[in-house]
Structure 1
Amino acid sequence: MNDDITFSAIGTGFAQRSVTLRAPSDGIVTELLIEPGKLFAKDEVLLRLDDRDERLAVELAEARLDRASSEQTRYQQLQDTGVAAISRFEDVQTAFRVARIALEQARADLADRTLRAPFDGVSGLALVEVGDRISLTDAVASFDDRTSLLVEFQLPEALLFRVAPGLPVAASTPAVPNRSFDGQVAEVDSRLDEGSRSAQVRALVDNGEDLLRPGASFSIRLDLPGSAYPSVPELALQFAEGSLHVWRVRDEKAEKVEVQMVRRRAGRVILDGPLEAGDAIVVEGTQRLRPGLAVETLNAAPGANS
């Protein structure tokens, strides 16, 4: 009989990906598109800052690059005819590269006036308003990818060897009564907590219907596979002289076999000991038995099972 068990635990759900949004630069909010619970696609605009200075900087950088490009073309033609000095032509080329870099920087500064969705996800409550002056450190809103939730729970060290990534789990939450959600073990911590002697486990639970929310409590159930052990009827297990034993019939004689109890299940006892499937085990009349005593089997009952 396999020593399979069902383990239950209480855990907390977290979004598969979760960030606190912050503006990429300081400035005054001119447009706010964030709405709690609204789904945004990656790179969709969430917030804009006043960008008048940055737009002017881009126009100025474009004009300077155009002028530098024209100068480079003109001196290239002069260089080809041998009129322009090499040193002057090199200065013009350098000026063109500097102007091009300046334009790239101006465009980057302009892009930093817009906050975009970092991935497909759902925004939380906006923590700023249009007209607010905000800095790089100010939180704008929470942003979650909740297509799947990670549910974290604790697993006792005695069960750690039974759990591995990919093991199926069933999750339920008071927020969605009378429903069970499928998932699987995603990660098992490499360390045990010294106080509780347990490991943190993360289960990935599908949230395709978008019914589950980060922060909710979850009841997690795992069917944990165990090792195969022999089992005998409960009445066959005896205790004497500080140890457990059963009586096995071999060559029509009683043989005392010391065992350790692993678990009780459905009227039988799962044992760890030198028993094999098919061994004849005495269930009744065990008090009168002694090692080597002749035994006559009258009514054969199921003995040791694997």
Structure 2
Amino acid sequence: MRSRLISCTGLVSLTLLAALAGCGKKADAPAAPATQSTDLITYAAGSPELDSIQTVTAAMSPLPVSDDMNARLGVDESETSRVGAPIAGRVTRIMADIGQTVRAGQPLAYLDAPDIGQARADVLKARADNDRKAREMQRSNLLYSGGAIARRDLEGAQADASAASAELERARLRLGNLGQGAGDSLALTSTVTGAVVDRQINPGQQIAAGQSPLFTVTDPKKLWLYVDVPETSISRARIGEKIEFDVPAFPDRRFEGKISQIGLAVDPGTRRVQVRAEVANPDMALKPEMYARARLVTDDGRRAVKVPNAALFEQGMQTYLFRVEGPGRFRRIPVKVSQRGDSASYVTDGIKDGDRIVGEGALLLNAQLAGD
């Protein structure tokens, strides 16, 4: 009897343990820890470490022939109009604002300018004087042909007519140079079609003669890149060659330009030569006055895989990075770096074009792989 009671008690205990085990299966299991070998580390799906790991695609690129250099973006001056005021006046109307697209000759603002009224009056006065002198010359011709006046009088009338015609032309040209408008109103216009990128004018503002720029109009899809090239590298820069650059606003994008001008003198303070490149900006992501890091690229057939510097780390005398081998699987591999830049470097051995690699988070992976 005692034996049966013990057996029943044991049975109940086993039943309770089984029930508790069943309850444990219904609860969420914690993520499995990382497993690792000498150069391979693996995380289970849902591991929190994966949130701090960023992967990027390594891409083949021409191997630069120079280190990264300071550069600055600017407007394309051949497609830019800086509008000023040829005469003094007071702003009465603003017709365009920053970001607005305008046509060549379109009024951007109107000034109340007494000088333009004076210029119009000068044209009317010169025209009247020219007409009068022309009639006097005609009468002198008739009188001279009839012998009523001397030749000297005829020549004097002809000279007066020529002077009046010249004064009329001068008055017309001055009025034309001042621009469009009516009465005392002067219209400020752009000479190019583009977008207004700067406005330094407000209604009621008094403008001095020659004050500029009041408006800056340019084509934002065309920019210039100014690069400060060390004199030791200027021999590698050639007109028509490609130049590659990146900007802090878009660290994952690579932009290109074409060298259009090379400076003729070395700056005595910096020992650098300014090189200018033309840059296409179809999506208008780039803005004038952005700073950039540029490098000369000569397409001589040499290629390397471009990777972010965050992907690389040193261990002893060898450089490594992590290649993605599958979901949550990262293998540490040695690579050969040909050239280093401020934000990216160029690898010639160890990985190939299109490989997925770890960018941010590579140091974390290496620390865990070492057992830290």
Both proteins in one fold, TM over 0.5? yes
How far apart, in 2, do the equivalents of 1:112 and 1:29 lie? 19
Counterpart contact for 1:42–1:119, Cα < 8 Å:
yes
Once the 2 structures are TM-superposed, how far is the Cα of residue 11 of structure 1 from its aligned partner? 1.6
Once the 2 structures are TM-superposed, how far is the Cα of residue 167 of structure 1 from its aligned partner? 0.7
Partner deviation per Cα, 1:261-283 (whole Å, 9 max, x = no partner): xx79846xxxxxxxxxxxxxxxx
**Structure 2 residue matching 1:202: 3-state secondary structure:** strand
**Partner letter of residue 16 of structure 1?**
D
Query: Could you tell me which residue of structure 2 aligns to residue 83 of structure 1?
Result: 148
Query: In the alignment, does 2:127 pair up with 1:62?
Result: yes
How far apart, in 1, do the equivalents of 2:286 and 2:250 lie? 8
Once the 2 structures are TM-superposed, how far is the Cα of residue 61 of structure 1 from its aligned partner? 1.9
Query: Could you tell me which residue of structure 2 aligns to residue 116 of structure 1?
Result: 189
Corresponding residue to 1:213 among 249, 274, 287: 287
Counterpart contact for 1:5–1:226, Cα < 8 Å:
no
Query: Could you tell me which residue of structure 2 aligns to residue 16 of structure 1?
Result: 76
TM-score by length of 2: 0.53
Corresponding residue to 1:39 among 96, 101, 119: 101
**Partner letter of residue 119 of structure 1?**
V
Query: Could you tell me which residue of structure 2 aligns to residue 285 of structure 1?
Result: none
Query: Could you tell me which residue of structure 1 aligns to residue 170 of structure 2?
Result: 105
Once the 2 structures are TM-superposed, how far is the Cα of residue 4 of structure 1 from its aligned partner? 5.3
- 5 Å matches for 1:139-288? 139=212, 140-175=214-249, 179-194=253-268, 196-224=270-298, 266=348
Gap change, CA 1:52 and 1:166, over 3 Å in 2:
same
Partner deviation per Cα, 1:236-294 (whole Å, 9 max, x = no partner): xxxxxxxxxxxxxxxxxxxxxxxxxxx79846xxxxxxxxxxxxxxxxxxxxxxxxxxx
Query: In the alignment, does 2:221 pair up with 1:134?
Result: no
Structure 2: unaligned runs, 5 residues or longer: 1-61, 180-187, 303-337, 340-346, 350-372
**Partner letter of residue 138 of structure 1?**
Q
Once the 2 structures are TM-superposed, how far is the Cα of residue 221 of structure 1 from its aligned partner? 4.1
Deviating more after overlay: 104-113 vs 90-99: 104-113
Corresponding residue to 1:27 among 89, 92, 116: 89
**Structure 1 residue matching 2:297: 3-state secondary structure:** strand
**Pairwise CA RMSD:** 3.4
**Partner letter of residue 123 of structure 1?**
V
Deviating more after overlay: 40-49 vs 157-166: 40-49
**Partner letter of residue 236 of structure 2?**
R
**Partner letter of residue 63 of structure 1?**
A
TM-score by length of 1: 0.62
Identity %: 24
How far apart, in 2, do the equivalents of 1:157 and 1:174 lie? 26
Structure 1: unaligned runs, 5 residues or longer: 229-262, 268-306
How far apart, in 2, do the equivalents of 1:80 and 1:176 lie? 84
Once the 2 structures are TM-superposed, how far is the Cα of residue 184 of structure 1 from its aligned partner? 0.7
Gap change, CA 1:110 and 1:33, over 3 Å in 2:
farther
Counterpart contact for 1:16–1:147, Cα < 8 Å:
no
How far apart, in 1, do the equivalents of 2:348 and 2:215 lie? 54
**Structure 2 residue matching 1:166: 3-state secondary structure:** coil
The structure in which a higher percent of residues are helix is 2
How far apart, in 2, do the equivalents of 1:187 and 1:221 lie? 16
- 5 Å matches for 1:281-296? none
Partner deviation per Cα, 1:176-228 (whole Å, 9 max, x = no partner): 67544432112222334455543322221113444432111234343236799
How far apart, in 2, do the equivalents of 1:78 and 1:32 lie? 58
Query: Could you tell me which residue of structure 2 aligns to residue 95 of structure 1?
Result: 160
Max radius of gyration: which structure?
A: 2
Gap change, CA 1:52 and 1:176, over 3 Å in 2:
farther
How far apart, in 2, do the equivalents of 1:86 and 1:92 lie? 10
Counterpart contact for 2:99–2:195, Cα < 8 Å:
yes
Gap change, CA 1:44 and 1:97, over 3 Å in 2:
farther
**Structure 1 residue matching 2:233: 3-state secondary structure:** helix
The structure in which a higher percent of residues are strand is 1
**Partner letter of residue 136 of structure 1?**
A
Partner deviation per Cα, 1:31-78 (whole Å, 9 max, x = no partner): 443422333344443344433333222222222222222222222233
Query: Does 1 or 2 have the higher relative contact order (CA < 8 Å, sep 6+)?
Result: 2
How far apart, in 2, do the equivalents of 1:218 and 1:11 lie? 5
Gap change, CA 1:177 and 1:66, over 3 Å in 2:
farther
**Partner letter of residue 172 of structure 2?**
R
**Structure 2 residue matching 1:13: 3-state secondary structure:** strand
